[in-house]
């Protein structure tokens, strides 16, 4: 299969799966928000907030390194899988023991401690998760099925087993079990296609991978600080209800980032294989334009209809709290740009420079949350997110320009004006009686129409996105 057809197929598979996956997750949040309430959502958010730190140090970025190396050396799949899974299983055991010790020492309600320990079992499921193998070999259809299946299992389990606020821990257990089932399914597929996995203590290979994975670990650590520290700080400073409110807003933010996740996964193999400056600039032109096109309209539509969307997700008791989403939509656009810079740098093994940018942003995030959350609560956490992401953007932009000689953001103003005009039309359509969802879809369609009308993007350019 040609590169163009392969990227097109991957984009289609990932698009369908990611939209379905995030859509189902949003339905789950809508159900949980009404069944276990925002206090229950707060417990779920705290469990996930604790987990991600231990998950990070149980994987050490080997999933990214593995996908990147397999994309370049597919004949070494078994070698990388045997070594990476061996390391991850050992680290997961160690991390879970540390998690037990820390949870037993902190001053938190028993329900939160239980939820943290149950969700922490995902350390073991993620240790044996081989999704990165299918990413590296560009079998995105497998990943697509896995994403949707995990969400459907979650939804089914919650519908059957979670009936009231007392079932908050059950909801956490359902989420954990669905991840475990899917991890085992991917492992069975791997056995079928590549044979059994054997423990491997190839120390030279471990050292080789660690050279790349350790910088990625620190990079990911600071990303987690930016994305999850505010949830934990809200939990300690403001309690479960406000934490749940912010957690719901963050989940909606995650929905707006679906396009960037799809584009990133589809382009990573091509970026990994580009070695000359000319090749990289050629791919970046297409990659960056696609990122920016989707960034401004996605964030713009959600910003315009934030009040309706937030109430739709968490219920009528929270009319007027859509301002949280409006603040986070500023973060959404910046995250798109950050992905536009960070993914190529990782693909080109320039990840060490990312640590500096993320480290500074992580410190800024801690300071911003410490100052803003006590005074402004969830709003302060959202503002802290914007400040942190902007700091990341400045750092990544600096290092990216040093390596690629361009920033690729000059076009953002053009697309932003088009998105603003489209959203304004959608807003007035809603004011004159058109339903919010229909108005939002109309804004998106109008945006695409304006782009085609002024030929800022053409059919030939769209075809170019799937050309190597």
Write out the two tokens for 294.
């989707």
Question: Which tens digits make up the pLDDT trace of 272-323?
Answer: 778 788 888 888 888 888 899 999 999 999 999 998 888 887 776 666 668 8
Write out the two tokens for 104.
């037993």
CA 147 to chain centre: 13
Strongest mean pLDDT among 20-24, 152-156, 215-219, 221-225 = 152-156
Phi and psi of 331, rounded to 5°? -60, -40
The whole-angstrom separation of Cα 165 and Cα 408 is 48
Q: Name the residue among 290, 48, 80 with its Cα closest to residue 171.
A: 48
Write out the two tokens for 295.
């960034």
Question: Which tens digits make up the pLDDT trace of 333-357?
Answer: 999 999 899 888 888 877 677 778 8
Phi and psi of 105, rounded to 5°? -100, -20
Question: Which tens digits make up the pLDDT trace of 21-70?
Answer: 777 888 888 888 788 877 888 888 888 888 888 888 888 777 778 787 78
The whole-angstrom separation of Cα 60 and Cα 209 is 10
Higher pLDDT, 142 or 86: 86
The pLDDT of residue 468: 44
CA angle 176, 181, 185 (to 5 degrees): 145
Asked if 246 contacts 234 with a C-beta cutoff of 8 angstroms, the reply is yes
Count of positions (residues) in the chain: 468
Asked if 183 contacts 126 with a C-beta cutoff of 8 angstroms, the reply is yes
Asked if 440 contacts 305 with a C-beta cutoff of 8 angstroms, the reply is yes
Average pLDDT, the chain: 83
Q: Is 416 exposed, middle or buried (0-12, 13-18, 19+ CB in 10 A)?
A: middle
Give the side-chain half-sphere CA count within 13 A for 373: 23
The whole-angstrom separation of Cα 188 and Cα 314 is 38
């Amino acid at each position: 299969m040609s590169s163009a057809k392969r990227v097109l197929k991957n984009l289609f598979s990932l698009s369908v799966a990611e939209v379905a996956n995030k859509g189902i997750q949003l339905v789950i949040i809508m159900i949980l928000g009404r069944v276990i309430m925002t206090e229950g959502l707060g417990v779920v958010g705290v469990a996930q907030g604790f987990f991600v730190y231990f998950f990070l140090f149980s994987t050490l970025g080997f999933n990214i390194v593995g996908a990147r190396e397999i994309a370049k050396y597919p004949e070494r799949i078994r070698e990388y899988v045997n070594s990476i899974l061996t390391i991850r299983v050992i680290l997961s055991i160690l991390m879970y023991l540390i998690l037990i010790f820390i949870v037993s020492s902190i001053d938190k309600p028993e329900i939160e401690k239980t939820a943290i320990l149950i969700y922490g079992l995902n350390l073991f499921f993620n240790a044996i998760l081989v999704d990165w193998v299918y990413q590296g070999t560009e079998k995105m259809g497998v990943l697509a099925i896995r994403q949707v299946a995990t969400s459907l299992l979650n939804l089914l389990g919650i519908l059957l087993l979670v009936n009231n606020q007392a079932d908050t821990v059950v909801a956490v257990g359902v989420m954990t079990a669905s991840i475990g089932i899917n991890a085992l399914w991917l492992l069975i597929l791997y056995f079928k296609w590549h044979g059994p996995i054997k423990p491997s203590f190839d120390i030279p290979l471990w050292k080789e991978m660690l050279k790349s994975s350790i910088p990625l670990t620190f990079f990911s650590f600071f990303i987690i600080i930016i994305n999850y520290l505010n949830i934990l700080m809200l939990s300690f400073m403001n309690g479960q209800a406000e934490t749940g409110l912010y957690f719901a807003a963050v989940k909606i933010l995650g929905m707006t980032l679906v396009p960037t996740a799809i584009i990133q996964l589809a382009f990573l193999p091509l970026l990994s294989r580009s070695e000359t400056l000319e090749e990289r600039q050629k791919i970046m032109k297409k990659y960056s334009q696609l990122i920016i096109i989707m960034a401004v309209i996605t964030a713009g539509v959600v910003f315009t209809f934030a009040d309706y969307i937030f109430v739709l997700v968490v219920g009528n008791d929270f009319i007027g709290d859509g301002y949280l989403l409006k603040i986070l939509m500023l973060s959404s656009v910046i995250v798109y740009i950050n992905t536009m810079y960070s993914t190529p740098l990782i693909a080109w093994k320039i990840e060490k420079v990312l640590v500096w940018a993320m480290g500074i942003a992580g410190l800024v995030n801690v300071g911003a949350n410490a100052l803003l959350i006590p005074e402004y609560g969830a709003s302060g956490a959202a503002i802290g997110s914007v400040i942190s992401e902007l700091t990341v953007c400045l750092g990544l932009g600096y290092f990216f320009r040093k390596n690629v000689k361009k920033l690729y953001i000059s076009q953002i103003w053009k697309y932003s004006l088009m998105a603003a005009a489209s959203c304004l039309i959608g807003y007035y359509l809603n004011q004159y009686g058109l339903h919010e969802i229909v108005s939002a879809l109309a804004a998106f369609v109008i945006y695409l129409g304006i782009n085609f009308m002024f030929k800022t993007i053409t059919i030939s350019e769209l075809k170019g996105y799937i050309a190597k």
